[in-house]
């Protein structure tokens, strides 16, 4: 057997291994119908993690592996090992190989050595390109996002990567506007090439078909898999393990009156959970794990003593708990999610947090022109998140489109001057501060004539979004109606015209300050 293995190892270099396995009966003996090798500079990489979406195997000492696969997913993917990268096809990292459907498929992976313990990761979620003329989303994307992101990349040193958290497109517009996932990828070529790891959103499913709700998800995902790649997988960048999940179970169209809604459930299906359990067996408990998926895991029902009362948000009873069980024992797990188009940071336990990240599209590009601004329904300007990784240390910040990196972290409202229809409180002498990227580690300090004021966290609607969205989106009941937020802070001043000093400091000791001269005017273009 040792002699056979040596021969096979040599034959991988010539591409004759599969034929040899078939001829000798080794494939038949193991019932392998997918074989391959993971290598770097011609040398096999041992212990690399390879999967067909159902099974997880490790490469042997010579870098080879074998699978008896159902080939249900149609590909094999590599969990890129630490210290390596893969080549990219445009913005798509080629960490997966589509299966040809032959009796024995060969799927080889070639790695590139990379010192990537330190890098910058950009999180670009809910881009929502549709090519809708009335919305002018393509024009806005090209004018607002592309130059901004180009400049951010130009001024960022070291290794850079990106990921999306789903909803790159909008399913209902694929065939109506002739704009789907291939067209999205072409638009992304406008930015400098960097690897972008994708997670799948509810709007990235193919809506065309006549299937039952029970079978729709398995059919609707096929276009995504063909154009973008696996809808769930894992990889390593430096000292961090990343898990990309698909937590959308697509149910197809549902008629609501005269309108059609593309319905879905939020959960992680049993196939993925089985794969995830196997994947995590090869990850040390001390390794930081970043879990990326579209719809959020957590939500807030109220504030108690300034702290959010949290609940799980999956639509299936027990689904969130079954997912969380897989991470028992891990010291640090961070969920990155999108879908809501707002900024939220929740602490579930000392070991587990969730960052529900702002959308690039803000309110899906619906607010544009005079009297409007690119803003999400919680008052956060449209933008993206920047994560800076150094070994196992992870820092993050929020980046507003059109504003320098590490600027534009909050806005202050003099509620005396805010009209009552937008939530104003004339005569109350309150100042509200919307800290876009707030989490429990932020420190907010407000002084009036040198005296420190009491800062109270509150759940309210952002006044400016209520103003700029007026007449553009319904007041309530719509996906982009103003939404209550937990990252508003309130102080009560001694009078209507006193000056206050605001200082905000994040959990990484980055500080921003602003002097507010009152009365402060309220208008759509206020800063």
Sign of the dihedral through C-alpha 508, 514, 518, 520: negative
- Calculate the alpha carbon distances from 338 to 199, 294, 460, 474 in Å: 10, 5, 21, 22
User: Which stretches of 48-145 are DSSP H helices?
Assistant: 137-140
Q: CA-CA distances (angstroms) from residue 477 to 361, 421, 474, 480, 483?
A: 20, 18, 7, 8, 10
Residue 336 predicted with pLDDT over 90: yes
Q: Is 145 left (phi over 0), alpha (psi -120 to 50) or beta?
A: alpha
- Of the candidates 357, 358, 377, 355, which has an alpha carbon nearest to the alpha carbon of residue 366? 377
Please choose, from the candidates 296, 445, 437, 307, the residue with its C-alpha nearest in 3D space to the C-alpha of residue 378: 437
Mean pLDDT value across residues 112-137: 96
Q: Which of 205-219, 288-302, 382-396 has the lowest mean pLDDT?
A: 205-219
For residues 125 and 336, what is the distance between their CA atoms, to the nearest angstrom?
10
Write out pLDDT tens, residues 7-35: 444 444 333 444 444 334 344 447 899 99
Q: How far is 129 from 144, CA to CA, in rounded Å?
A: 13
Distance CA 48, CA 236 (A): 11
How much is the pLDDT for 28? 45
What is the model's pLDDT at position 254? 75
From the list 111, 121, 106, the residue with the least C-alpha distance to 195 is: 121
Which residues on neighbouring strands pair with residue 244, listed in sequence order?
Answer: 233, 292
H/E element, 181: helix 181-188
Q: Is the pLDDT of residue 334 over 70?
A: yes
Q: CA-CA distance, 480 to 518, in Å (whole number)?
A: 31
Which of the four pLDDT bands, split at 50, 70 and 90, describes residue 259? Answer: confident
pLDDT digits (tens, 9 = 90+) for 430-489: 999 999 999 999 999 999 999 999 999 999 999 999 999 999 999 998 999 999 999 999
Please state, rounded to an integer, the average pLDDT across all residues of the chain. 93
Distance between CA atoms of residues 233 and 243, nearest Å: 6
Does pLDDT of 331 surpass 80? yes
What is the model's pLDDT at position 261? Answer: 76
Q: What is the mean pLDDT of residues 61-70?
A: 97
User: Structure tokens of 20?
Assistant: 């040899």
At 4 the pLDDT is 46
Q: What is residue 211's predicted lDDT score, i.e. its pLDDT?
A: 75
- Whether 215 has a pLDDT exceeding 90, the answer reads no
Residue percentage of the chain with pLDDT more than 70: 94
Residue 458 confidence (pLDDT): 95
Instruction: Determine the average pLDDT of the residues in 513-521.
Output: 97
Q: What is the pLDDT of residues 136-193, one digit of tens each?
A: 999 999 999 999 999 999 999 999 999 999 999 999 899 999 999 999 999 999 998 8
Token look-up 């409202």 returns 413
* Contact (Cβ atoms closer than 8 angstroms) between residue 78 and residue 95: yes
Domains along the sequence of the chain with CATH: 2-112 (2.60.40.1120), 118-400 (3.60.21.10), 410-516 (2.60.40)
């Amino acid at each position: 057997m040792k002699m056979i293995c040596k021969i096979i190892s040599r034959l991988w270099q010539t591409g004759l291994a599969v034929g040899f396995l078939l001829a000798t009966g080794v494939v038949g003996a193991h019932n392998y119908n997918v074989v391959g090798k993971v290598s770097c500079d011609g040398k096999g990489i041992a212990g690399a993690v390879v999967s067909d979406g159902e099974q997880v195997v490790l490469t042997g000492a010579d870098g080879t592996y074998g699978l008896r696969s159902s080939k249900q997913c149609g590909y094999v993917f590599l969990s890129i090992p630490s210290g390596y990268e893969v080549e990219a096809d445009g913005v798509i990292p080629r960490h997966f190989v589509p299966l040809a459907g032959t009796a024995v498929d060969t799927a080889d992976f070639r790695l590139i050595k990379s010192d990537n313990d330190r890098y910058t990761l950009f999180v670009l979620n809910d881009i929502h390109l549709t090519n809708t003329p009335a919305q002018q989303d393509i024009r806005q994307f090209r004018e607002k996002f592309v130059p901004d992101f180009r400049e951010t990349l130009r001024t960022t040193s070291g290794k850079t990567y990106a990921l999306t958290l789903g909803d790159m497109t909008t399913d209902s517009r694929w065939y109506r506007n002739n704009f789907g996932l291939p067209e999205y990828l072409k638009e992304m070529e406008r930015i400098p090439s960097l690897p972008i790891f994708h997670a799948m959103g509810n709007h990235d499913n193919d809506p065309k078909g006549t299937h039952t709700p029970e079978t729709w998800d398995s059919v609707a995902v096929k276009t995504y898999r063909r154009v973008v790649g696996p809808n769930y997988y894992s990889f390593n960048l430096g000292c961090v393990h990343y898990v990309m999940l698909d937590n959308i179970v697509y149910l197809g169209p549902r008629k609501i009156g005269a309108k059609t809604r593309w319905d879905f459930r939020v959960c992680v299906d049993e196939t993925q959970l089985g794969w995830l359990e196997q994947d995590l067996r090869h990850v040390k408990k001390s390794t930081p794990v970043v879990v990326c998926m579209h719809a959020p895991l957590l939500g807030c029902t109220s504030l108690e003593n300034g702290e959010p009362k949290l609940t799980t948000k999956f639509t299936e009873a027990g689904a969130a708990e079954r997912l969380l069980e897989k991470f028992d024992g891990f010291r640090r797990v961070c969920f990155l999610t999108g879908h809501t188009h707002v900024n939220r940071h929740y602490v579930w336990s000392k070991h587990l947090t969730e960052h529900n990240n702002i959308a690039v599209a803000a309110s899906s590009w619906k607010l544009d022109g005079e009297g409007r601004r690119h803003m999400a329904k919680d008052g956060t300007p449209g933008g993206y998140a920047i994560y800076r990784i150094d070994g196992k240390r992870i820092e993050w910040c929020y980046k507003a489109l059109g504003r320098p990196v590490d600027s534009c972290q909050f806005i202050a409202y003099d509620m005396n001057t805010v009209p009552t229809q937008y939530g104003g409180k004339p005569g109350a002498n309150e100042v509200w501060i919307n800290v876009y990227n707030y989490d429990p580690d932020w420190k907010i300090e407000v002084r009036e004539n040198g005296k420190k004021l009491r800062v109270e966290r509150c759940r309210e609607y952002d006044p400016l979004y209520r103003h700029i969205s007026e007449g553009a989106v319904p007041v309530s009941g719509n996906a982009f109606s103003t939404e209550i937020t937990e990252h508003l802070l309130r102080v009560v001043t001694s009078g209507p015209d006193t000056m206050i000093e605001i200082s905000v400091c994040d959990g990484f000791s980055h500080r921003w300050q602003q002097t507010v001269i009152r009365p402060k005017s309220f208008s759509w273009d206020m800063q």
